Each structure stands twice: as structure tokens, then as C-alpha cells.
Amino acid sequence: MFPELNNLLNTTPEGAEQGKLTLLCDAKTDGSFLVHHFLSFYLKANCKVCFVALVQSFSHYNMVGQKLGVSLTTARERGQLVVLEGLKSAVDIFFRPQEEPHPLQFLREANAGDLQPLYAFVRDALEPVDCGEAAWRCPVLLVDDLSVLLSLGVGPVAVLDFVHYCRATVCREWKGNVVALVHDSGDAEDEESDVLLNGLSHQSHLILRAEGLATGFCKDVHGQLRILWRRPLQPTTPRDRSLTYQYKIQDKSVSFFAKGMSPAVL
Amino acid sequence: RHLSPRLTPSEGLARPPPPPTDNCPNGSFRPSHDSVEWEGRSLLKALVKKSALCGEQVHVLGCEVSEEEFREGFDSSINNRLVYHDLFRDPLSWSKPGKALPGGPLEALRALDKRTGSGPATIALDSLSWLLHHLPCPILCQTLHALSRQDSCPGDTLPGEQVRVLGLLHEELHGPGPLGALSSLAQTEVTLSGTMGQASAHILYRRPRQRPTLQTQWFSILPDFSLELQVEPLLESQPPSDLHTPSVDPTTHLTFNLHLSKKEREAKDSLTLPFQFSSEKQQALLRPGLGQATSHIFYEPDAYDDLDQEDPDDDLDV
């Protein structure tokens, strides 16, 4: 969790809003620092988190999480965190009998159909259980990332349907949050990626877009973050507020500053 | 009896709601194109509100937002006239205790036709993009055509049975083929954009046997989803011209000289350019005077040189 990013988003773990879809998007840079931010943010906020981790191994996220002050192993052991480790599961699916549907069932099918098994996994992981214990604050689904599903052969409409169902169940019914990372390839010919990104943008309440600098790589400024608030719930707030900041990623934190105001430049 | 379409540009979006006027041709289909930057759901809700205030029944096929979210901002008089057909919660029948509408999206769309039998009605499709992603384009177009009753003769249906179909379409999600097909079905097409925080609608009217007309209207949506029309905003980027600033002469304070004195100007004018062929030059060339040495060329031939004393032009008959 990066305290400076919390300030920019005007939120704290204690006062996090609920029922929101947050879209993380990166273009010409690596936006995974945003995934680590939200993972540690929601764990600190005492939320039940379902993490669909398709890109890196669990130990990688755990290592980064420890730098940010959360232990994923501990959270998993006490039931706060459910992780679908995509890299491991994808291999398992070929070596186990086909009894029950696997979340990544589409890998076995000739025509990658829909993501209903993945949605079923998320629903079972996050369903609120009335068992008398201290309940977690709200359910949160975190996906890293959705573009991988496109690369694995799932169509963009199927991915949009999956996010639609997660939004209907997690956000609307259970008043939880969904955070998902998507890559913007910037390639004008990649229509599927464009349909996915634009379709998700229309559904999102908050869009965080990390972009590389137009002038290229820089040692002191790693990129630019655009924050777009869409669909405010109160009609009186200004529609579609947008802010832009530049950032530098350090070992245990990320510092944000206004455009052109990097400490290295001033 | 022929119902003439009375949707003139002045009566369309230009008239503030209400008064109820018979301002819609029998059966019309109006898609609104929006984009991520300029969202269209607020305009759709404003049009829905306008229809409801006219006393019509409004059927909303909701695919993208939940019923609570769509009804938010409407007061009870509008909500009472609004029937929400929920395709948001479980459109593809994935839930175990099925909450889906029977028959899936296509049947839900066709069922709207039967529901709007009595009285003027408005059908709002939120959104056409969702339907286009889940239904084949030809089937969707045929169903929309039947829904808006465009194939029925104007004399067959009474004015009380008019059906207006509004659709929300996210332009960036579709290729030119489906967009073109839906455009050809529409009587009115509204594309949203804007500048400097002010939203605008580009409205294309297609009337039978008339040329399509294009109109741009600036607008804003108030918190209660009333539509407010506005004048085009002045461009603020033109800098104000100041007539009183004295113009500064840029040739002052230079480190080099841009001006010529009188003597220098005379010397310049009397100078003969080297390649200008005047009579003095001709005389000087014809008669080399004293002090002008004729030029000699000294050439040392190599061992490999082949000096041919013949004139190569000898055989020319000139």
C-alpha cells in the first residue's frame, strides 16, 4: 500500500468505498505496482480477498507484499486470502482427472468457451458465510491480469461477461469491490485488446492508467499515472474528474508528484 | 390515413420537457453513440424521463447496470412508469438458482414487443452494445426492426400505439459493419462528444424521402436528469488583442549592423557583379591588358596516359 497513492485517491483502508469496479491499465510500462498496492491495501482493510494471479508466482507477490507490510502466507492461512495461482493451476489441469470443473477449464477445450468455471471459483471463494465469527469487511476480487486471458484464447466478449458477472455478484449483491489489470497494447491492429479495454472502461467507476513517458525511459520519472473517476454516484459531483501525476518507483514505496515537479528536476 | 412525421429539428431535443407533443413518427429507432470520455447513459435517462413525463410507459431492457442504479435519480412518478427488464443480474444463466429471464437475451428483447401493446410507449435498450456482443447482428437488426414497427403501414396503427425505441451504443466497441447496419435502421442518430467540459450532441435525422440533416446541440444533464440545452460555448483560447502595446523594433540592440550608411549604399550600387556580362567586361576579356597574364596550363603526363593529338570533333560536319 502506497500512502501517497491513497492520498491521491482520497481513500484509506478504514474508509474504503464499496461496490466499485476499479480498472488498472498500463500502456508502454509495467503497471503491476498498482496490483501490489491494491492487494496490500485491501488486506490491511480487513477485507476478504480473492486473488486471481495469472502472471507471477505466489512467492513473488508474497515477497513484494512483505516489503509493503503484509504477509500473504499469513493471510492465506487464516482464510482472509484465497489465491488462484495461474501458473501452477494451468499445469495441474492437464494431469488430473476431469471430475469437477477447474477454474481454468477453458484451457482444455478446443474452442475456449466462457469463463463460467472461473466465475464459479470466485463466487465460492468470496460468498459471505454466516458462521458467527467476526466477518471480514467486504469481499474483494483482484485479477492480475485480464489480458493474459486474451492471450490464452478467450474472446474479449467472454472476458467482459466474466467481469460483468463479478460486478453483478461481488459489487452489486455483496457490496464488495473488483480490481482488474488490463494492458493497453497500443497496437491499432489488436482489436480484441481494444474491445476489452474500452468495454471495461465503460463498466468501471475508477480508472488508473499508468503510461510510460512519451519521451522514453527516464531514471527519475518512471511514468505517468492518470486517474479518471467515472460514474459518480451522486449526480451533484462533477462528471468524470481526471488527474494526472508522474511517479517514481522505489524499493518499498512509490512517490508521486505533479507533472514536471520531480525532485530530481527541481 | 397517413401520419406525417413531425419530428422537426426544433421539436426534437430543442424543446425543453414537457409539453407533450405528438413529436415522433410512428415507430422510430434512435441510437445514441457514446464513448468512454463522453458517456451516454445520463442522456438516455434524461430521454426516458422526458417520455415518462409525457405520460408514456417506458420499458427498459437493462443489461449493463442494475435496476437500482438505473432508477437512481428518478423520482417516484417516473419510477412508477418505468418497467425494468433485468438482464443484468444473470443474463447467461450462470447462477445456480436461476435468476435469468427465460429464453435469454433474444427472447427478452422479443418479449418487449408484446408488452407494449396498449398506448404509446418507449423502449430503452441499455445497451445495444451488449446485445450486439451476444446476438448475431442480422437477428438483432431484424428484431429491432420488428420492435419499432417500421414495417407496418402508417394507416394500420393508431397514433396511440406508437413505439419509440431508444438505444445506447458504445461506438468504440464495434466495427464499421455492425455500426453501419444499426445506423441504417435508425431515424435519428445522436453522437456524443464535447469540448472543454461541455457536452454536445451531433444529431443526424433521416426522414423518408428527404435528405438527412445534421444538427449540433450543446447540452447538459442536471442532477435530476432534466435536459438543459445550451448555446455553443465561446472559444476561450483566443488571446485578447491589445492595441495599445507599442510595437518593439527588433532591429535595435543588435551586435551586428543591419543598416547601410549612404556611402556604403553608393559603393554597393556601383559594384559590378562578377558574373554580370557588361560591355566593359567584354572589352577586358577581348584585350588582355598589361598586368593581366595569360594563363598557362602545365601538365605532366603519366606513363599510362594516352595522349591523342587528334581532334575528336574532326569528323563533325559543322
- Retrieve residue B230's grid coordinates: 445550451
Those residues with Cβ within 8 angstroms of residue B141's Cβ, 6 or more apart along the chain or in another chain: B181, B182, B185
* Domain spans, chain A: 18-217
Query: For residue B46, which residues of chain A lie inside 8 Å, CB to CB?
Result: none
Query: For residue B86, which residues of chain A lie inside 8 Å, CB to CB?
Result: none
- Retrieve residue B36's grid coordinates: 468512454
Which of helix, strand or coil describes residue A258? Answer: coil
**Mean pLDDT score of chain B, rounded to an integer?**
74
Using the beta-carbon criterion (under 8 Å), do A231 and B39 form an inter-chain contact?
A: yes
Is A263 at the interface with chain B, CB within 8 A? Answer: no
Nearest to B173 among A120, A161, A199 (CB): A199
Question: B258 and B251 in contact (C-beta within 8 Å)?
Answer: yes
**pLDDT, average across residues B64-73:** 89
- Retrieve residue A212's grid coordinates: 510510460
The confidence score (pLDDT) of residue B30 equals 77
Beta bridge partners of B214: B204
Cα B49 to Cα A23, B71, B124, B175: the distances in Å are 30, 10, 11, 31
C-alpha–C-alpha distance, residues B148 and B24, integer Å = 12
Confidence of residue B161 (pLDDT cuts 50, 70, 90): low
Which of A210-224, B81-95, B147-161, B235-249 is least confident?
B235-249
Query: For residue A198, which residues of chain B lie inside 8 Å, CB to CB?
Result: 36, 170, 172-173
- Chain A residues 211-240 within an 8 A CB cutoff of chain B: 230-231, 233, 235-236, 239-240
Which of A134-148, B98-112, B132-146 is least confident?
B98-112
The confidence score (pLDDT) of residue B293 equals 62
C-alpha–C-alpha distance, residues A149 and B56, integer Å = 45
Confidence of residue A131 (pLDDT cuts 50, 70, 90): low
pLDDT beyond 70 at B234: no
Confidence of residue B238 (pLDDT cuts 50, 70, 90): very low
Residue to test with chain A: of B32, B34, B36, B45, most A Cβ within 10 A: B36
- Retrieve residue B87's grid coordinates: 438482464
pLDDT beyond 90 at A71: yes
pLDDT beyond 80 at B55: yes
- Of A56, A47, A52, the residue nearest A20 (C-alpha): A47
- Helix, strand, coil percentages in chain A from 3-state DSSP, rounded to 5: 35, 20, 45
Cα B88 to Cα A155, A164, A228, B245: the distances in Å are 20, 8, 24, 64
- Retrieve residue A237's grid coordinates: 459531483
pLDDT beyond 60 at B243: no
Environment class of B30 (CB within 10 Å of its CB; exposed 0-12, middle 13-18, buried 19+): buried
- Of A165, A159, A181, the residue nearest A122 (C-alpha): A165
Query: Higher confidence at residue B155 or residue A85?
Result: A85
Give residue B77's identity as a one-letter amino acid code.
S
Question: A166 and A122 in contact (C-beta within 8 Å)?
Answer: yes
The confidence score (pLDDT) of residue B291 equals 54
Query: For residue B91, which residues of chain A lie inside 8 Å, CB to CB?
Result: 161, 164
Query: For residue B42, which residues of chain A lie inside 8 Å, CB to CB?
Result: 239
The confidence score (pLDDT) of residue B227 equals 81
Note the residue count of chain B.
Answer: 318
Query: Higher confidence at residue B9 or residue B177?
Result: B177
Is A198 at the interface with chain B, CB within 8 A? Answer: yes
Q: Which domains does chain B have, with CATH numbers?
A: 29-230 (3.40.50.300)
The confidence score (pLDDT) of residue A23 equals 95
Q: Would you list the DSSP string of B66-89?
A: -HHHHHTT--HHHHHHEEEEE-SS
B218 backbone dihedrals φ, ψ, rounded to 5°: -90, 140
C-alpha–C-alpha distance, residues B201 and B228, integer Å = 12
Question: B76 and B20 in contact (C-beta within 8 Å)?
Answer: no
C-alpha–C-alpha distance, residues B141 and B103, integer Å = 18
Which of A149-153, B19-23, B42-46, B314-318 is least confident?
B19-23
C-alpha–C-alpha distance, residues B200 and B193, integer Å = 5
Highest average pLDDT, of A68-77, B7-16, B257-266, comes from A68-77
C-alpha–C-alpha distance, residues A46 and A12, integer Å = 12
The confidence score (pLDDT) of residue A21 equals 93
pLDDT beyond 90 at B241: no
Note the residue count of chain A.
Answer: 266
Query: Higher confidence at residue B228 or residue A29?
Result: A29
Query: Higher confidence at residue A102 or residue A33?
Result: A33
**pLDDT, average across residues B75-81:** 88
Confidence of residue A58 (pLDDT cuts 50, 70, 90): very high
Confidence of residue B39 (pLDDT cuts 50, 70, 90): confident
A62-66 long-range Cβ contacts below 8 angstroms, 24+ apart: A64/A36, A65/A36, A65/A39, A65/A40
pLDDT over 90 percentage in chain A: 47
Query: How far A159 CA lies from chain B's nearest CA (Å)?
Result: 12
pLDDT beyond 90 at A63: yes
C-alpha–C-alpha distance, residues A221 and A214, integer Å = 12
C-alpha–C-alpha distance, residues A222 and A34, integer Å = 13
Question: B120 and B161 in contact (C-beta within 8 Å)?
Answer: yes
Task: Please tell me the pTM assigned to this model.
Answer: 0.76
Query: For residue B64, which residues of chain A lie inside 8 Å, CB to CB?
Result: 164, 202-203
**pLDDT, average across residues A207-231:** 87
pLDDT beyond 70 at B1: no
C-alpha–C-alpha distance, residues B313 and A90, integer Å = 88
In the DSSP assignment, the letter for residue A85 is E
Nearest to A161 among B39, B92, B224 (CB): B92
C-alpha–C-alpha distance, residues B109 and B63, integer Å = 11
Which residues in B157-184 are b (16+ Cβ under 10 Å) and which e? eeeebbbbbbbbbbbbbbeeebbebbee
Question: A183 and A30 in contact (C-beta within 8 Å)?
Answer: no
Query: How far A263 CA lies from chain B's nearest CA (Å)?
Result: 31
C-alpha–C-alpha distance, residues A45 and A222, integer Å = 28
The confidence score (pLDDT) of residue A28 equals 87
Confidence of residue A100 (pLDDT cuts 50, 70, 90): confident
Question: A243 and A258 in contact (C-beta within 8 Å)?
Answer: no
Query: How far B153 CA lies from chain A's nearest CA (Å)?
Result: 38
At the top level of CATH, the class of A18-217 is alpha beta
**Mean pLDDT score of chain A, rounded to an integer?**
86
